[in-house]
């Protein structure tokens, strides 16, 4: 059975090109074969992650009225509080059993209490740095100039999303899960989860495999825009969060996703180095327009 690989980013940070190429190759294989990987030595401190999880709990513990004052308004800004069952990651199924807070960079600078914890901003910056490192590895792996992807992501158009999956009080509706099966829309996603479990990833053979927490790692997956850009050389893999069957049902699940997006005006056109095996599959598209259309389909 295909396994999600664990890759050590510390080796990529070494200055010798041989080490960098070896890790870029491991990352290439992960993105090509499964679209998911666990990264060790991500550069984001354990303490910082714990602080953000703790702020996340405090935010979700606010009253519904307080959360609704911070409500998500539209796909264009895509920020704020999203209530339970509001979003359908799988549009053919009932709403997801989760609630979320979305942040973008501009908003993080102007937030009011209780959502303006400085660690959330520091974390956003740390995620940006990690994403840039991964994008450099992608460039090396795909035989592109080192900063090819990072310069196309330099407006920090990324969304940080705190997620809470509450304990289940009543049985779910038929087909209802914590997060419906979907692929992510952007270039890469960084995912941090607690140890409750439920995250599953679909292999190319169609089987669902568990993606449990592995201590001191960050999950990274490639999104649809990266799949288009690379002409399907990297895959954007479906994943979902299932409802646990055991005593974990009584526990909340918390996770944090950092959705990394290219600048809105980036034309996502098939990379030349990805046309060796097949002609371009997808027509060029502007990143901003594509992301907006995907968000509109899920709310």
Ligand X SMILES: O=C(O)CCC(=O)C(=O)O
Applying CB under 6 A, the residues found at the interface with ligand X are 163, 179, 184, 191, 193, 199, 239, 241, 255, 257
Q: Which of residues 12 and 72 has its CB atom nearest to ligand X in the complex?
A: 72
27 binds, among ligand X, Fe ion, none (CB under 5 to 8 A by kind): none
With CA atoms as reference, report the closest residue to 113 among 165, 156, 58. Answer: 58
Stretch (H or E) spanning 65 = helix 64-69
Q: Does 96 bind Fe ion (CB under 5 A)?
A: no
Residue nearest to Fe ion (CB): 184
Q: Which of residues 156-185 bind Fe ion (CB under 5 A)?
A: 184
33 binds, among ligand X, Fe ion, none (CB under 5 to 8 A by kind): none
115 binds, among ligand X, Fe ion, none (CB under 5 to 8 A by kind): none
Q: Does 117 bind Fe ion (CB under 5 A)?
A: no
| Contact assessment for residue 98 and residue 163, using Cβ atoms and an 8 Å cutoff | yes
- Read off φ and ψ for residue 296, nearest 5 degrees: -65, -25
Q: Is 241 helix (H, G, I), strand (E, B) or coil?
A: strand
Neighbours of 256 (CB within 10 A): 22
Q: Does 26 bind Fe ion (CB under 5 A)?
A: no
Neighbours of 201 (CB within 10 A): 20
Length of the chain in terms of residues written: 299
Nearest distance from C-beta of residue 217 to ligand X, angstroms? 14
Nearest distance from C-beta of residue 99 to ligand X, angstroms? 12
- The β-bridge relationship of strands 159-165 and 80-82 is unpaired
Q: Which of residues 135 and 160 has its CB atom nearest to ligand X in the complex?
A: 160
Instruction: Give the C-alpha separation, 81 to 59, whole Å.
Output: 10
255 binds, among ligand X, Fe ion, none (CB under 5 to 8 A by kind): ligand X
Q: Which of residues 184 and 200 has its CB atom nearest to Fe ion in the complex?
A: 184
Q: Which of residues 33 and 98 has its CB atom nearest to Fe ion in the complex?
A: 98
Residue nearest to ligand X (CB): 255
**Number of residues near Fe ion (by CB under 5 A):** 1
- Read off φ and ψ for residue 107, nearest 5 degrees: -70, -35
163 binds, among ligand X, Fe ion, none (CB under 5 to 8 A by kind): ligand X
What does 129-150 look like in DSSP terms, one character per residue?
HHHHHHHHHHHHHTT--TTHHH
Residues interacting with Fe ion, by CB under 5 A?
184
């Amino acid at each position: 059975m295909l396994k999600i690989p664990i890759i050590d980013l510390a080796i990529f940070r070494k200055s010798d090109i041989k080490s960098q190429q070896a890790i870029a190759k491991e990352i290439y294989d992960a993105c090509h074969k499964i679209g998911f990987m666990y990264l060790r030595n991500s550069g984001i401190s354990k303490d910082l992650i714990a602080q953000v999880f703790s702020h996340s709990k405090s935010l979700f513990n606010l009253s519904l009225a307080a959360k609704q004052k911070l409500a998500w308004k539209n796909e264009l800004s895509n920020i704020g509080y999203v209530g339970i069952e509001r979003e359908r990651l799988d549009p053919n199924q009932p709403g997801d059993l989760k609630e979320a807070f979305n942040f973008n960079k501009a908003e993080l600078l102007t937030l009011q209490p209780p959502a303006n914890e400085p660690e959330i901003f520091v974390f956003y910056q740390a995620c940006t740095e990690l994403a840039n490192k991964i994008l450099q590895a992608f460039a090396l792996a795909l035989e592109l100039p080192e900063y090819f992807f990072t310069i196309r992501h330099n407006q920090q158009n990324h969304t940080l999303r705190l997620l809470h999956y509450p304990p289940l009080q009543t049985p779910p509706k038929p087909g209802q899960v914590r997060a419906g099966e979907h692929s992510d829309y952007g270039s890469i996603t960084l995912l941090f989860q607690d140890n409750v479990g439920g995250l599953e990833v679909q292999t190319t053979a169609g089987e669902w495999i568990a993606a449990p927490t592995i201590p001191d790692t960050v999950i990274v997956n490639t999104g649809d825009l990266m799949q288009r850009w690379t002409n399907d050389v990297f895959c954007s893999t479906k994943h979902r969060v299932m409802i646990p069957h055991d005593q974990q049902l009584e526990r909340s699940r918390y996770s944090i996703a950092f959705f990394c997006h290219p600048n809105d005006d980036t034309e996502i056109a098939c990379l030349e180095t990805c046309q060796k095996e097949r002609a371009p599959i997808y027509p060029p598209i502007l990143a901003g327009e594509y992301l907006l259309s995907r968000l509109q389909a899920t709310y």
